[in-house]
Amino acid sequence: MAQYLLSVVTPAEGAQPPTPDQLEAIMARVGQLQSDMKAAGAWVFSGGLEAPSTATVLRPDGDDVLLVDGPFAEGKEYLGGFTVVEAADLDAALDWGRRTVAAIGLPIEVRPFAW
């Protein structure tokens, strides 16, 4: 078995944020998917993230560490949330990825863990 990171690729601008009703429906679908993952023994960890504007970056600075306000890179997309799944191979991981796309309606990046 291997572990895969399923990242939610969230648009930073331009896209309409979901209405409260839509959000509720999304969360219901995500909850259902998560219990399916747990029932299949595939779920390892998952979470949704606050906006990139809430991030702080720590950088090595000689022997010191420097604090910088904001995300490490401003992009058109940001990591909005993620799930770590346990899967036999890429096809199995892609199946969970496909179902995550269906639940959230956003692009999902599937990436294997190296260790």
Partner 1 sequence: MSDLEAVFRDVHGRAVAVLTRQLGDLDLAEEAVAEAFAVAAATWPERGTPPSPAGWIVTTARNRAVDRLRREAVGTAKLAEVARLQTIAGPEPEQEEVGAVRDDQLRLLFTCCHPALAPEARVALTLRMVGGLTTPEIARAFLVPEATMAARITRAKHKIAKARIPYRVPGDADLPARWSSVLAVVHLVGTEAHSPATGSAPTRPDLAADAIRLARLLVGLRPDEPEARGLLALLLLTTSRAPARALPLDRQDRALWDRGLADEGQELVRECLRIGRPGTYQVQAAIAAVHADAPTWADTDWSQVVALYDLLPQTPVVQLNRAVAVAELDGPSVGLALVDRVDLDRSPVLHAVRADLLRRLDRFAEARAAYDAALARTANEAEQADLRRRRDALD
Which positions touch partner 1 (CB under 8 A)? 2, 88-91, 94, 110-112, 114
Minimum distance, C-beta of residue 87 to partner 1, in the bound complex (Å): 8
Minimum distance, C-beta of residue 98 to partner 1, in the bound complex (Å): 10
CB atoms within 10 A of CB 78: 19
* Alpha carbons 61 and 70: distance in angstroms, whole number: 17
* Alpha carbons 69 and 102: distance in angstroms, whole number: 34
> Pairing relation of β-strands 2-11 and 64-69?
unpaired
Minimum distance, C-beta of residue 1 to partner 1, in the bound complex (Å): 10
Q: Which is nearer to partner 1, 6 or 30 (CB)?
A: 6
Q: Which is nearer to partner 1, 27 or 92 (CB)?
A: 92
Tokens coding 61 = 């600075």
The DSSP-derived string for 52-76 is GGG-EEEEEETTEEEEEES-SS--S
Minimum distance, C-beta of residue 92 to partner 1, in the bound complex (Å): 8
Q: Which is nearer to partner 1, 79 or 92 (CB)?
A: 92
Q: Which is nearer to partner 1, 73 or 114 (CB)?
A: 114
